[in-house]
Structure 1
Amino acid sequence: MSLPLYLLAVAVFAMGTSEFMLAGLLPDIASDLNVTVGTAGVLTSAFAIGMIVGAPLVAALARRWSRRSSLLGFILAFAAAHAVGAITTSFPVLFATRFVAALANAGFLAVALAAATTLVSPDKKGRALAVLLSGTTTATIAGVPGGSVLGTLLGWRATFWAVAALCLPAALGILKGIPAGRAKERMPGGPALRAELAQLARRRLLLVMLLGALVNAATFAGFTFLAPVVTGTAGLSELWISVALVLFGIGSFAGVTVAGRLSDQHPGPVIAVGGPLLLVGWPALAVLADKPLALLALVFIQGALSFALGSTLITRVLYEAAGAPTMAGSCATAALNVGAAVGPLIAATTLSTAAGNLGPLWSSGFLVAVALLLAFLFRTVIAAGRSTEVLQ
């Protein structure tokens, strides 16, 4: 794997820290800005909606942009949005900064995913994706828990400042490590935008993206509202939120790493084994959440299963959309973030029910069940095809 690919992962680490850090900051943000925890939770959805809107739009525009210039511009815009978020006292303004930051993140990932697949041989897309996503999983291991501790000690605004500062060395790495030149020059003879869009409209590709979105919705439904479960249901102190986030991050890193080795040639076993285990895991986490040891163990397991299954599905999107080299990354990004937007919204509605803090965990199980049911009902569509079967 090439050095530029790892430099992209460093930038993804900064952005992943921001995307996931709200899981440990929601109670403090809600208290500081005089909103409910459920209302604060829509900040996660605002970020995801910005990713959905931004990914295809920016990917289409960036077809003729310099990759180095666009990546650099996106990460600097991302840093600026966090600086504004750190000083605002208005929830609507904070909501807007999350949306703007997401647009920048979407543009970055759309270009980075396209660039990553050109930095490796055609049969190693899964491993390239695993390296890129290692930035996100490392963020859940180190960046997000670190942000949670920083927020506990100095307030949630300090975490926003830290993310803004973290973008600066990543920007320097992009400037030094990513070659200059236009995207078009590195993809001679690439298909026209209309041809790429036609590739993205096939039933099988749309179905796999839907499955990826549902799995990610389940992940974000449970993960976004993990802090109240740790401090409320399990009765642990606030510092244990960081421990839970670290365990989730270590699990997600392990899941992405294992899936990255298998998803190129053997996606079927990953999904066949991981899917049912993920389905059982969320209700088990809800039932055993009042037992701290069981809670922490299951947080690790669910992190591993969620990211193994999700990254495998998105890898299949990249293979299936091979005829759309510049838009495939935006497809994968949009699919993930449709789920990230919907999941917390569904989970937030359960907080006022009898399930209380455990409602989001039950909703995660429901979303995985829907994904597995669709995979079963449309298994013939998924299995159809010749050279790039989605599930084998």
Structure 2
Amino acid sequence: MGLLALALGGFGIGLTEFVIAGLLPQVSRSLNVSTAAAGWLISGYALTVAVGAIGVTAATAGLPRKPVLVGLVALFVAGNLLCAIAPNYPTMLLGRVVAALCHGTFFGIGSLVARRLVPPERASRAVAMMFAGLTVANVLGVPFGALVGERWGWRATFWAITATGAVALAAIAVLVPGWAGRVSGGAGGLRAQLRSFRSTQV
């Protein structure tokens, strides 16, 4: 059940990342900005994922992983709630940035936790199951989210994503055991994280 909770978190994050592409015309009209400016709701998210993941991962490297996962999903919920109620474009962009801060670190920590929930020989399958949430978001969630936006408005889509995040938050808090998120003694900060770049494979 813990793996399903992680997969649900991945589903919500994948949904919020990609569904905005089909809603840009609506968002731009509603917030009175050009389509090009609205495009920053995609680019700003992506840039935050790329840059923010390094800092967030380094800042949380030595902390117990389950509370970090819960905090990351709470950040995701807050960001999407901000998008759903955004009265203007700057608030909408801020919501996208806040939601994006959890993205890279969630999948990194979630993968480690998923591996510990199963016997070693099933670790790869567990990680694949967690990432299946992201796949389902792309294949089914994004078209459905766009359909919701077309029928009830783009804010309805973000309300649905917020609700999905809230369910994922509760599921992770209840179903992911604390022992799966304990940090080994080798965890380190930013310097330890950056040492990975010495590897030619990385």
User: Fold conserved (TM > 0.5)?
Assistant: yes
Equivalent residue number for residue 41 of structure 2 = 43
Q: Tell me if the contact between 1:19 and 1:47 (Cα under 8 Å) persists in the aligned partners.
A: yes
Query: Residue 196 of structure 2: which of 196, 199, 210 is its match?
Result: 199
Question: How far 1:181 sits from its partner (Å)?
Answer: 5.2
Equivalent residue number for residue 171 of structure 2 = 173
Equivalent residue number for residue 105 of structure 2 = 107
User: Aligned equivalents of 2:80 and 2:187: distance in 1?
Assistant: 36
User: Aligned equivalents of 2:69 and 2:129: distance in 1?
Assistant: 17
Write the mapping of 1:28-67 to structure 2, written as runs, cut at 5 A: 28-67=26-65
Secondary structure at the aligned position of 1:63 is classed as coil
Listed as ranges, the gaps of 5+ residues in structure 1 are 206-392
Write the mapping of 1:250-329 to structure 2, written as runs, cut at 5 A: none
Equivalent residue number for residue 186 of structure 2 = 190
Instruction: Using CA pairs under 8 Å that are at least 6 residues apart, name the structure with larger relative contact order, 1 or 2.
Output: 2
Equivalent residue number for residue 68 of structure 2 = 70
User: Aligned equivalents of 1:204 and 1:61: distance in 2?
Assistant: 24
Q: Rate the CA distance shift 1:126–1:181 in 2: closer, same or farther, 3 A.
A: closer
Q: Tell me if the contact between 1:58 and 1:110 (Cα under 8 Å) persists in the aligned partners.
A: no
Deviation per residue, 1:302-349 (Å, 9 max, x gap): xxxxxxxxxxxxxxxxxxxxxxxxxxxxxxxxxxxxxxxxxxxxxxxx
**What fraction of aligned residue pairs are identical, expressed as a percent?**
35
Question: How far 1:112 sits from its partner (Å)?
Answer: 1.0
Question: How far 1:14 sits from its partner (Å)?
Answer: 1.2
User: Aligned equivalents of 1:186 and 1:94: distance in 2?
Assistant: 35
Listed as ranges, the gaps of 5+ residues in structure 2 are none
Query: Residue 163 of structure 1: which of 161, 164, 186 is its match?
Result: 161
Question: Which residue identity is paired with 1:190?
Answer: G
Question: How far 1:201 sits from its partner (Å)?
Answer: 2.5
Q: Rate the CA distance shift 1:164–1:192 in 2: closer, same or farther, 3 A.
A: closer
| Structure 1 residue 119 corresponds to structure 2 residue 117 | yes
User: Aligned equivalents of 1:117 and 1:182: distance in 2?
Assistant: 9
User: Aligned equivalents of 1:204 and 1:107: distance in 2?
Assistant: 20
Deviation per residue, 1:177-216 (Å, 9 max, x gap): 1122595x442x42544445323322331xxxxxxxxxxx
Question: Which residue identity is paired with 2:199?
Answer: R
User: Aligned equivalents of 2:91 and 2:193: distance in 1?
Assistant: 36
Q: Which has the larger radius of gyration?
A: 1
User: Aligned equivalents of 1:68 and 1:202: distance in 2?
Assistant: 28
User: Aligned equivalents of 1:122 and 1:41: distance in 2?
Assistant: 43
Q: Tell me if the contact between 2:113 and 2:180 (Cα under 8 Å) persists in the aligned partners.
A: no
Equivalent residue number for residue 12 of structure 2 = 14
User: Aligned equivalents of 1:19 and 1:186: distance in 2?
Assistant: 28
User: Aligned equivalents of 2:24 and 2:73: distance in 1?
Assistant: 24
Query: Residue 150 of structure 1: which of 142, 148, 169 is its match?
Result: 148
| Structure 1 residue 95 corresponds to structure 2 residue 93 | yes
Q: Rate the CA distance shift 1:175–1:121 in 2: closer, same or farther, 3 A.
A: same
Question: How far 1:122 sits from its partner (Å)?
Answer: 5.4
Q: Rate the CA distance shift 1:103–1:191 in 2: closer, same or farther, 3 A.
A: closer
Q: What is the TM-score when the length of structure 1 is the normalising length?
A: 0.47
Q: Rate the CA distance shift 1:94–1:192 in 2: closer, same or farther, 3 A.
A: closer
Question: How far 1:116 sits from its partner (Å)?
Answer: 2.5
Question: How far 1:70 sits from its partner (Å)?
Answer: 1.4
Question: Which residue identity is paired with 2:103?
Answer: N
Secondary structure at the aligned position of 2:178 is classed as coil
Find runs of 4+ consecutive structure 1 residues off by over 4 angstroms.
120-126
Q: Rate the CA distance shift 1:13–1:95 in 2: closer, same or farther, 3 A.
A: same
Question: Which residue identity is paired with 2:200?
Answer: R
User: Aligned equivalents of 1:55 and 1:103: distance in 2?
Assistant: 7
Q: Tell me if the contact between 2:63 and 2:183 (Cα under 8 Å) persists in the aligned partners.
A: no
User: Aligned equivalents of 1:149 and 1:110: distance in 2?
Assistant: 31
User: Aligned equivalents of 1:180 and 1:130: distance in 2?
Assistant: 21
Alpha carbon RMSD of aligned pairs, Å? 2.3
Q: Rate the CA distance shift 1:63–1:97 in 2: closer, same or farther, 3 A.
A: same
Q: Tell me if the contact between 2:62 and 2:188 (Cα under 8 Å) persists in the aligned partners.
A: no
User: Aligned equivalents of 2:194 and 2:121: distance in 1?
Assistant: 23
Write the mapping of 1:233-244 to structure 2, written as runs, cut at 5 A: none
